[in-house]
């Protein structure tokens, strides 16, 4: 199966073409240096390198966060627009869960905490099994003050974050630090989406994951 996967939830953006679980073409770029529209400049290169057209894509996979709301919104919109003419399926998965699965594939952790900067003095957090990458603490994502992180993590948890560059100066001294950013990859977004498609499971909602409660609501009058 030919898959186009788009992952734009963090400062490192990633797009890849795969045949099954094998990457045949890939492009990454820094969202701090290039606008999100860089995706549309790179897609023709990707198709030429892989020798396929958009019409030949059989599955579109896209990461929906948590992370950059604007990045995930562009990724979701692009995937749906590319799939629309041929009616191919679009499957959205959690970018953070894709990162957990990639860390789990390395096999060096019993538990994995994926977290990021949620602003407003909070972080978003998910805890996953280190062997399977599946969530351990439902719901999959929660918000909490960074200072409380040590009170909720199981002992021996490996911590990874795409936002370490923003959290480093705020990090609690009593916690082991990630020391470097870890970014979700389009490859593992594709793997999660392909597994879901093969099992006949539906996509996650085709909207970015947004964890903060609404600060304003429309009147029902």
- State the CATH number of the domain containing residue 39: 3.30.420.40
pLDDT average, residue stretch 200-211 = 96
Q: Is the pLDDT of residue 205 over 70?
A: yes
pLDDT average, residue stretch 17-29 = 97
Residue 206 lies in a domain: no
Q: Is the pLDDT of residue 167 over 90?
A: yes
- In degrees and rounded to multiples of 5, residue 40 shows phi and psi of -75, -20
Residue 203 lies in a domain: no
Same domain flag for 89 and 189: yes
* pTM to 2 decimal places: 0.94
Q: Which residue has the tokens 């903060």?
A: 212
Tokens in use for 176? 């082991």
Same domain flag for 48 and 102: no
pLDDT one-digit tens code per residue, 84-128 = 999 999 999 999 999 999 999 998 899 999 999 998 889 999 999
- Cβ-contact 63, 189 below 8 angstroms: yes
Can you give the CATH number for the domain in which 101 is found? 3.30.420
Domain count, the chain: 2
Same domain flag for 138 and 191: no
- Torsion angle (degrees, nearest 10) of CA 33, 204, 139, 158: -50
d(CA 113, CA 35) in angstroms, rounded, equals 29
Q: Is the pLDDT of residue 31 over 80?
A: yes
Strands (E), 87-182: 90-93, 111-117, 123-129, 142-144, 157-160
Give the single-character DSSP code of 195.
H
* Range with lowest mean pLDDT among 13-17, 39-43, 73-77, 108-112: 108-112
Residue-level pLDDT at 214: 61
d(CA 61, CA 4) in angstroms, rounded, equals 6
Q: How many CA atoms lie within 13 A of 71 on its CB side?
A: 25
For residue 164, the enclosing domain spans: 96-170
Residue-level pLDDT at 155: 83
Same domain flag for 134 and 193: no
**What does pLDDT average to over the chain?**
93
């Amino acid at each position: 199966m030919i898959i186009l996967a788009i992952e734009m939830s963090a400062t490192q953006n990633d797009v890849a073409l795969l045949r099954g679980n094998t990457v045949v073409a890939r492009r990454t770029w820094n969202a701090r240096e290039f606008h999100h529209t860089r995706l549309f400049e790179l897609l023709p290169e990707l198709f030429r390198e892989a020798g396929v057209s958009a019409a030949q894509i059989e599955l579109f996979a896209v990461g929906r966060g948590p992370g950059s709301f604007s990045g995930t919104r562009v990724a979701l919109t692009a995937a749906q627009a590319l799939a629309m003419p041929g009616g191919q399926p679009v499957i959205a998965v959690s970018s953070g869960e894709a990162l957990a699965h990639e860390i789990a594939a390395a096999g060096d952790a019993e538990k994995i905490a994926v977290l990021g900067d949620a602003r407003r003095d909070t972080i978003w957090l998910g805890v996953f099994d280190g062997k399977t990458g599946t969530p351990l603490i439902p719901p999959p994502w929660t918000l909490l003050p960074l200072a409380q992180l040590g009170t909720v993590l199981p002992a021996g948890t490996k911590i990874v974050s795409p936002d370490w560059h923003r959290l480093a100066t705020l990090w609690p001294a009593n916690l082991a630090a990630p020391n470097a950013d870890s970014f979700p990859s389009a490859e593992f977004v594709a793997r999660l989406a392909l597994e879901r498609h093969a099992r006949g499971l539906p996509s996650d909602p085709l909207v970015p994951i947004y964890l903060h409660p609404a600060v304003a609501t429309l009147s029902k009058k």
